[in-house]
Amino acid sequence: MSAIDTPKSKFSILPAFNIALTKIAQLHPKRIYNMVVTRFAPSPTGYLHIGGLRTALLSYLWARRNGGKFLLRIEDTDFSRNDEAAALAIVEAFKWVGLEHDGTIEYQSSRLAIYQEYAQKLLDEGKAYKCYMSKEELDALREQQTARKERAKYDNRYRDFTGTPPEGREAVIRIKAPLEGSITVHDGVKGDVVFNVADILDDFIIARADGTPTYNFVVAVDDALMGVTDVIRGDDHLSNTPKQIVVYDALGFAIPHFFHVPMIHNHEGKKLSKRDGATDVMMYKTMGYTPEALLNFLVRLGWSHGDQEIFSMAEMLELFDPSDINRSASVYNVEKLDWLNSHYIKNMSNDKLCELLEFHGVMLVSHDKREILLDALKERAKTLVEMATLINEILVRPAGFDEAALKKGYKEESKAILQTFSEALKNGGELHLPTDYHHVMETVVAQLEIGFGKIGQPLRVALMGKLSGPGLDTVMAIIGVDETLARIDALLAHQ
């Protein structure tokens, strides 16, 4: 179990609770606990980061799978500015992808009294102390140490200070960290990670001179007080964990399970940053991705279940276990996301599709050929934005004709063919379905004794303004006879 192992204290400081859980874990590789509480604890940046969504998703899945709770906490101890708005942005993104947190959102900025109480408790128990060293003195100390090629660390000068404090100095509060030995983080992803106290620790500050608490202190206090049993977070936090264990230990709190999930990297192999493109989750909505595709993509980054690629929320909920997470970082590649997105679009009901397309400016609810249109197009689009474009290419008469298409598909002989086809359409009686139009095309082809391409290419230019697109019979069925004739006339009148 996570503990501080000093040569002095051989006895275990572990709560029986944790020992029991470990035993369960050993007996049942796929752990199911009665009580699993996870949390997502972002700092208020104004939007939900794609990497944040991944850890939130994994935390959510694990909590829900065990019938537990998934909590949301805003880490705003720094200074409160737009925290409400930032939290709202996160909840909005959660809502879009279908994640839901339990309970009320906790804001650290409104819990300052709690942190002060626990800092005072440590002070009273002699587990923390006031340090009157100024920032300037600290900087000077660090400079000297660095010059001597030593690790920069606090020199414990006020650790056992009993004299009178210097005049007019605001004190910071430092916690008494172990001076020797090691701290082992029992991580569910990385395994046991041993940190040598002498290498990484000093009496770090838990409260600033102005009385506000620092990160490693509040995280531990909050996770403990909120009853968090499983901390699933980015592995950039792994090196913070020993400090948090020091706090847990000093306060006598049970140490949770840690799962440090590897980072998502960009193509250069670095941590994903804003300049790598879309890091804001809501950008994915704008770009026409579906929440299902995004979540499916994220859950497969660093986690797998055999050869399975497609996971519904229900399947994720049934199969996800944080101890199956990979140890290595993964690179974010859009091709797979695109593939997943097109998969989900293809398999989506037309009603749902119709609803989602409204966000992209396409209103089809009352269109009488809606089904034909969507069935034809949903196999062709990678994103909803593409889909919207394709729809407009059919519904809106082409503003002009592509030069290359004209040259390749609209020859001198084409005019007569198109005129013949126009006549056939006018005399074709009632035309509704793609097969009706296809029949007319067949008739003309037979009558003129030409190949399908002879009529297909010029007709395509007329209808679409270019040489690619869905089946012509489908396009005609969607826009109707009158519009078809009008578009043919427009091409014939061209030049």
Q: Which of 6, 36, 2 is nearest to 18 (CA)?
A: 2
Dig out the tokens for 159 from the structure. 């650790």
In the sheet with 69-74, reading across from the earlier edge strand, the strands are 37-40, 69-74, 102-107
Dig out the tokens for 149 from the structure. 């090629």
Among 48, 61, 63, 172, which residue sits at the site for RNA (rule: CB under 7 A)? 172
Cβ at position 34, least distance to RNA in Å: 28
Give the nearer residue to RNA in terms of CB position, either 68 or 118: 118
Establish if 239 lies at the interface with RNA (CB under 7 A).
yes
Site for RNA in 61-120 (CB under 7 A): 75-78, 108
Site for RNA in 23-62 (CB under 7 A): 43
Give the nearer residue to RNA in terms of CB position, either 63 or 133: 133
**What is the spatial distance between Cα 474 and Cα 421, in angstroms, rounded to a whole number?**
16
Site for RNA in 187-216 (CB under 7 A): 190-191, 193-196, 199-200, 205, 208-210, 212, 214-216
Give the nearer residue to RNA in terms of CB position, either 111 or 300: 300
Q: Strand 182-187 relative to strand 191-196: parallel, antiparallel, unpaired?
A: antiparallel
Give the nearer residue to RNA in terms of CB position, either 214 or 422: 214
Establish if 161 lies at the interface with RNA (CB under 7 A).
no
Give the nearer residue to RNA in terms of CB position, either 254 or 337: 337
Of 121, 243, 274, 382, which one is the catalytic site residue?
A: 274
Establish if 487 lies at the interface with RNA (CB under 7 A).
no
Dig out the tokens for 321 from the structure. 């276990």
Cβ at position 32, least distance to RNA in Å: 20
Site for RNA in 282-341 (CB under 7 A): 300-304, 306-307, 309, 324, 326-331, 333, 335-336, 338-339
Site for RNA in 243-262 (CB under 7 A): 262
Cβ at position 467, least distance to RNA in Å: 5
Cβ at position 413, least distance to RNA in Å: 15
Contacts with RNA: how many residues (CB under 7 A)? Answer: 82
Cβ at position 285, least distance to RNA in Å: 21
Site for RNA in 113-152 (CB under 7 A): 133-135, 138, 149, 151-152
What is the DSSP-derived secondary structure letter of residue 309? Answer: -
Give the nearer residue to RNA in terms of CB position, either 293 or 301: 301
Establish if 159 lies at the interface with RNA (CB under 7 A).
no
Give the nearer residue to RNA in terms of CB position, either 96 or 339: 339
Give the nearer residue to RNA in terms of CB position, either 205 or 373: 205
Q: Which of 1, 73, 66 is nearest to 35 (CA)?
A: 66
**What is the spatial distance between Cα 339 and Cα 436, in angstroms, rounded to a whole number?**
34
Site for RNA in 402-441 (CB under 7 A): none
Q: Strand 172-175 relative to strand 205-207: parallel, antiparallel, unpaired?
A: antiparallel
Cβ at position 474, least distance to RNA in Å: 8
**What is the spatial distance between Cα 323 and Cα 321, in angstroms, rounded to a whole number?**
5
Among 155, 180, 318, 379, which residue sits at the site for RNA (rule: CB under 7 A)? 379
Dig out the tokens for 92 from the structure. 């909005």
Which value, to the nearest 10 degrees, does the dihedral of the CA atoms of residues 108, 52, 39, 187 take? Answer: -120
Q: Please give the full DSSP string across 421-464, using - where no structure is assigned.
A: HHHHHHTS----SHHHHHHHHHHHHHHHT--HHHHHHHHHHHHH
Establish if 237 lies at the interface with RNA (CB under 7 A).
yes
30 catalytic? Reply is no
Output phi, psi for 6, to 5 deg: -105, 155
Site for RNA in 262-281 (CB under 7 A): 262-263, 265, 268-271
Contact 50, 187 (CB under 8 A): no
Dig out the tokens for 262 from the structure. 């590897």
Output phi, psi for 162, to 5 deg: -125, -5
Q: Which of 289, 405, 403, 275 is nearest to 343 (CA)?
A: 289
Sole window of 99-107, 312-320, 365-373, 471-479 interacting with RNA (rule: CB under 7 A): 471-479
Q: Strand 172-175 relative to strand 182-187: parallel, antiparallel, unpaired?
A: unpaired
Contact 483, 397 (CB under 8 A): yes
Cβ at position 306, least distance to RNA in Å: 6
Cβ at position 127, least distance to RNA in Å: 18
Secondary structure class of 345 (helix, strand, coil): helix
Active site residues: 274
